[in-house]
Structure 1
Amino acid sequence: MENHINISAYILCGGKSVRMQSEKGLVLYKGKPFIRWIIEAIMPITSNIILVTSNGDYTMVGVPMIEDTFADKGPVGGIYTALKHSMSAQNLILSCDVPKITTKLLRDLTDESENKDAPVTFLSDGKNDYPLIGVYNKEALEIFAEAISADKLKLCSLVNMISHQKIIINSAQKSLVQNINSKAELLALNLIDQ
């Protein structure tokens, strides 16, 4: 299968990691940092991968890094930064805390986003939405700029206000999109996968 040459991928690594108490993307899972698992899942889709972070520790990963345009604006600010930076119409956006994400699921997402005209396509399990595993069209930049200037920083609320499509995942895929936010969740993940 060939790469999507017209898509860029941005991994948002700007969270405060309060519950994890260490940089989430650099936490080890099966001996590798979360960020490495995510990059490896993206590589068959696009090699144009950029981290949105100001943490110099991520240089060890060896992919380009950019800093948030606006500090402390959460995922909305991170997506704005990515869309502003990107030269691609379509942009795969991921958080840095989904180490079990797979190439197949991401390819399904990117393929579906190409088939629809919505500026935002993201995963959902029918009950919970995962807008931090999504494809954002560059045309959504202005919407994110307006949200930041109005200080409307709740991502789920924002994406539900704009034209979007949800790709429904099945129950077997739910573990693939789980955010690992705390040491307890990390411990549970490692115990399950032993």
Structure 2
Amino acid sequence: MDPNLSAYILCGGKSSRMKTEKGLVQFQGKSFVQWILEALYPLVLCPVLVAKNPAYESFQLDMISDRIEGKGPLGGIYSGLTHSPTGLVLILSCDIPKISTDVLAFLLRYSTRNPDKITFLSDGENDYPLIGVYPKKCLKAVENSVLRNELKLRQFVESQAHQRILLSPSHIQAVQNINTKDQLLSLS
């Protein structure tokens, strides 16, 4: 475990397409967040949930609320970066129940090689900046974007030093985010 790394799971979305709290949705007998935690625990000792819903207290983890509400994923990243005591911050969305320790370890290996860059996964067609490592030093840039209401995450990431890490085809399902009940039903 890297003492210069902390992890934050963003659980504060509106879940408008799922119509229920995404992180608490059940998949094969466990909530999405539980699947993510099981993938994380071999790599990060004390992940933090960025969540307002008291139902997340059942995970018995530290929880923080968004510092500025209503700012979407970039606002969640801002909250995590502000709270984090470490130089590197792993950010994960709460809707990736198939994420694996192997995929996260792969991402972390690349992030430590270039710790000054935002490092995120890509399948070659889609980028996943909510499965990424953000250097604490980009906090001021994130804060400026949030305060200016420039909240498009991909636009922000592209404006910063970054590296896109290509996944092998065998790992693409691990990064699939589940936003609707139909997508949930299609998971295997």
SS in 2 for 1:144: helix
| Residues 170, 87 of structure 1: alpha-carbon distance in 2 compared, 3 angstrom cutoff | same
The whole-number CA distance in structure 2 between the counterparts of 1:13 and 1:64 is: 13
Pairing 1:1-194 to 2, within 5 Å after superposition: 3-189=1-187, 193=188
Kindly indicate whether the alpha-carbon contact (under 8 Å) linking 1:10 and 1:93 is maintained by their aligned counterparts in 2: yes
Kindly indicate whether the alpha-carbon contact (under 8 Å) linking 1:34 and 1:96 is maintained by their aligned counterparts in 2: yes
Alignment RMSD? 0.8
5+ residue gaps in structure 2? none
SS in 2 for 1:143: helix
Kindly indicate whether the alpha-carbon contact (under 8 Å) linking 2:71 and 2:151 is maintained by their aligned counterparts in 1: yes
SS in 2 for 1:88: coil
Which residue type is aligned with residue 186 of structure 1?
L
Count of paired positions: 188
SS in 2 for 1:172: helix
5+ residue gaps in structure 1? none
Instruction: Report the Cα offset of residue 118 of structure 1.
Output: 3.4
The whole-number CA distance in structure 2 between the counterparts of 1:111 and 1:171 is: 19
Kindly indicate whether the alpha-carbon contact (under 8 Å) linking 1:74 and 1:153 is maintained by their aligned counterparts in 2: yes
The whole-number CA distance in structure 2 between the counterparts of 1:48 and 1:84 is: 16
Which residue type is aligned with residue 81 of structure 1?
S
The whole-number CA distance in structure 2 between the counterparts of 1:124 and 1:90 is: 19
TM-score normalised per structure 2? 0.98
SS in 2 for 1:135: strand
Kindly indicate whether the alpha-carbon contact (under 8 Å) linking 2:98 and 2:174 is maintained by their aligned counterparts in 1: yes
